[in-house]
Amino acid sequence: MKIEEAIQRLETHKEYISPHGRFTKEAIDMAIEALEKQIPKKFIRDEDEEPICPVCGEEVWDTEYCDGCGQKIDREE
C-alpha cells in the first residue's frame, strides 16, 4: 500500500467514528500527519540560496529529514 492510499483510508474511516470517539479521531489525525511527512517535499532556497524546508523554513543541508519538523526532503536538484 502506498502512503497516499493509507492516508485516504484513514480519512475515510475517521468519518465513521462516533462523535464521542474524540481520542480515536485525534490518534488518526496524528497518524495522517506522520504519514504525510513521509512523502518527500522539494526543498526551496531562501534569498541566500540556502536550502530550506518547505514546511517549517529550517535549513536542510545534507539531511534526509528536516531537523525542525521531520518532513522528508527530496534532495534532487
Give the model's pLDDT for residue 48. 92
Residue 44, SS3? strand
Q: How confident is the model at residue 54 (pLDDT cuts 50, 70, 90)?
A: very high
Q: What is the pLDDT of residues 20-53, one digit of tens each?
A: 777 888 999 999 999 999 999 999 999 999 999 9
By C-alpha distance, which of 10, 44, 39, 43 is closest to 27? 10
6 burial (CB, 10 Å; 0-12 / 13-18 / 19+) is middle
The pLDDT of residue 24: 86
Residue 77: the pLDDT is 67
Which contiguous run of DSSP H or E holds residue 18? none
pLDDT, tens digit, for every residue of 56-77?
Answer: 999 998 899 999 999 999 987 6
| pTM beyond 0.75 | yes
Cβ 66 vs Cβ 73: under 8 Å = yes
